[in-house]
Structure 1
């Protein structure tokens, strides 16, 4: 694979510490969330473990990673400058503190602190929406990826509003007298989060990444799938969320059908891109193959349940038992596969791009360890299979524990690989990436060089 694909402007990227600190914090939430999930299987913790587990993984790992990825690649893909580097730092720590407070309140039963944690997360995500939204506004007209990102930002606003409403309702009867119930608000919140903000971002990114890193182009049925998904999917999410909010099956059912058709179709589109790939197989593409299979499998599995009763709380994540297939097999593998390119890419641009043509430099895919990548892939696939089996079959608890432990081992190997990339190739220390005040002189010098380079481009 080439060092930098030719159709993006790496010179517009923000300082490397901005996205990398998001990814590091997100990976921290991933480890903690996986550990909480395993401990809950053992019965070692009390409280609302399922809520803690879901929020640590989706709000913590996935959404914080999305924040970092959009902050990096909207400027790169769109060829515009990030609206505010300061706000990109504020958004991360406000969300992190809020999620930590939210999880602690649930685990300890201190529900009066839930609105504080939820309000902090809302503020952080809204800062992110404003910052990236202002950046996107300078990149008109939008392509298919930029349109998806703009729609996803809207979903972030809606889901966080409902999230704070739920947090307040734990201690105050604010829903009393309204035409909605706590369960309805929860169902709409989940829908807007998983299918709205997260999957809309995933589709938008994969339209770029799936073609860019297979060196193939959409054609034939791909174009029809894109047309249906681009218009039908957002409408489907809003319809399903509205149907669940007000418990109106006649509204939720066509929304569910649009989501199922779009996810299945995108799985076909991604599988076709992988089949027609003109480049050597990479860890990124291996994980995308799991994603394509999961998209099609989850859609077919969930269709009978959603078309029968899409407002049933048991089917919020698709078919009963499909939650880990969706959250980990689809969303998780997208994030892991993409990070196998994003992290080395960011470091390569800041460490080696100026040396290109002057001396031998590694390619992006040379920065990580291939053996560790193969190991974590095998562990995560095996762990995913065991966890999904325990969701759908009456297997001993030991199987779920073993599956969870294998997943944690795979995550640990993945994290070790990423940390080795940072240790071997990054001009920054981990402390310098996370906190600017610990940045070394070389970091400051690099930032000054980047600023001069960007100024000269303008």
Structure 2
């Protein structure tokens, strides 16, 4: 009957027109473009001058994750370009690599944006009149190093558990859902995220002060002008 045929058609895996050749070519372009972007980013980081900042170190992880995701996604989509299981690349490591890519992009960007906003609000008007700290002096560099180690280590543990079932099954049976390695990796990622959040909050509190928090909450510029006048 027509109703049965329509249900069978709806259950078939595919990408829009359900053509494997078209899906494979599209996957080639997506994976290739991502690989080029990752390689360019990695080269720009390598050629960067000056001290290594938390933003650059995390962008280096982004470049490596992008290249790894591209390679695994390309190898997967060449064999099986259709199906919900390969939508994000390799069914095991694709989501992990994409999550690391997005997470490290966000954290690396915020390690530059948040201190810059605080510096612009508190110290920009004082340049040339007194000594002011640099943007990278506003946050705690030691905490930034620890949260990078925790987050990266946790991501690598989760990736190892996704790649190897033997690694994923390590630990006592029945005590931890997902295995000891996966649980430890998730705990390290959460720890790194909490350290990062605390570092950014400390930056705003130490250098921005309560006035900046009140202005950001109210959106008023009157307090900002009064504070600048008092500072001068």
- Scaled to the shorter chain, the TM-score interval is 0.7 to 0.9
Compare CA radii of gyration and give the structure with the larger one: 2
Is the 2:32–2:70 contact (alpha carbons within 8 Å) kept by the matching residues of 1?
Answer: yes
Deviation, structure 1 residue 352: 1.1
The equivalent of 1:388 in structure 2 is 159
- Matched residue, 1:290: 61
Structure 1 spans left out of the alignment, 5+ residues: 1-176, 185-242, 451-458
1:260 equivalent to 2:31? Answer yes
Q: Call closer, same or farther: CA 1:266–1:447 in 2, change over 3 Å.
A: farther
2:212 & 2:159 partners in 1: Cα distance? 35
Name the structure 2 match of 1:271. 42
**Please, which of 93, 98, 102 is the counterpart of residue 326 of structure 1?**
98
Query: Is residue 446 from structure 1 mapped to residue 199 from structure 2 by the alignment?
Result: no
Compared with structure 1, are the counterparts of its residues 404 and 430 closer, same or farther at alpha carbon in structure 2 (3 Å cutoff)? Answer: farther
Offset, 1:314: 1.2
Go from structure 1 to structure 2 and tell me whether the alpha carbon gap of 1:355 and 1:387 turns closer, same or farther (over 3 Å shift).
Answer: same
Residue 415 (structure 1) aligned to one of 191, 194, 197? 197
Separation in 1, partners of 2:114, 2:205: 12
Moved more, 288-297 or 427-436: 427-436
1:359 aligns to what?
130
Aligned CA distance change for structure 1 residues 428 and 307 (closer, same or farther; 3 Å): farther
Asked if structure 2 preserves the Cα contact closer than 8 Å seen for 1:351 and 1:427, the reply is no
Q: What number of residue pairs does the alignment pair up?
A: 210
CA contact (8 A) 2:139 2:199 kept: yes
Q: Which residue of 1 aligns with 2:176?
A: none
Could you tell me which residue of structure 1 aligns to residue 183 of structure 2?
Answer: 401
**Distance in 1 of aligned mates of 2:209 and 2:222:** 10
Residue 378 (1) aligns with residue 149 (2): yes
Partner of 1:306: 77
RCO higher in structure (CA 8 A, sep ≥6): 2
Inter-partner Cα distance in structure 2 for 1:376 and 1:307: 37
Question: How far, CA to CA, are the matches of 2:154 and 2:140 in structure 1?
Answer: 21
Question: What is the aligned-residue RMSD (CA, Å)?
Answer: 2.7
Q: Distance in 1 between matches of 2:26 and 2:205?
A: 47
Q: Is the CA contact 1:390–1:400 (under 8 Å) kept in the aligned structure 2?
A: yes
- How far 1:252 sits from its partner (Å)? 2.1
Distance 2:31 2:90 in 1: 12
**Cα contact 1:270–1:292 (8 A) shared by 2:** yes
User: How far does the alpha carbon of each residue in 1:65-118 deviate from its partner, in whole angstroms, 9 at most, with x for none?
Assistant: xxxxxxxxxxxxxxxxxxxxxxxxxxxxxxxxxxxxxxxxxxxxxxxxxxxxxx
Structure 2 stretches lacking a partner, 5+ long? 1-5, 170-178
Contact (CA 8 Å) 2:55, 2:111: kept in 1 or not?
yes
Equivalents in 2 of 1:345, 1:366: separation in Å? 11
What aligned pairs does 1:131-142 form with structure 2 within 5 A after superposition?
Answer: none
1:280 CA displacement: 1.0
TM-score (normalizing by structure 1): 0.43
Q: TM-score, normalised by structure 2?
A: 0.81
What is the aligned partner in structure 2 of residue 250 from structure 1?
21
Once the two structures are TM-superposed, the CA of residue 435 in structure 1 deviates from its matched residue by: 3.8
Give the secondary-structure state (helix, strand or coil) at the position aligned to 2:78. helix
Tell me the CA shift for residue 449 of structure 1.
Answer: 9.0
Q: Distance in 2 between matches of 1:333 and 1:294?
A: 10
Q: Distance in 2 between matches of 1:392 and 1:279?
A: 36
Instruction: Pick closer, same or farther for the CA change 1:267–1:426 going to 2, 3 Å.
Output: same
Please give the per-residue CA displacement for 1:131-166, whole angstroms capped at 9, x wherever unaligned.
Answer: xxxxxxxxxxxxxxxxxxxxxxxxxxxxxxxxxxxx
- Write the deviation string for residues 219-276 of structure 1: whole angstroms up to 9, x where unpaired: xxxxxxxxxxxxxxxxxxxxxxxx7234333332221111111111111101111111
1:338 aligns with 2:116: no
Task: Please state how far the C-alpha of 1:181 moved relative to its aligned partner.
Answer: 4.5
1:298-329, Cα deviation, whole Å (9 max, x unpaired)? 1112211112222221111111212111112x
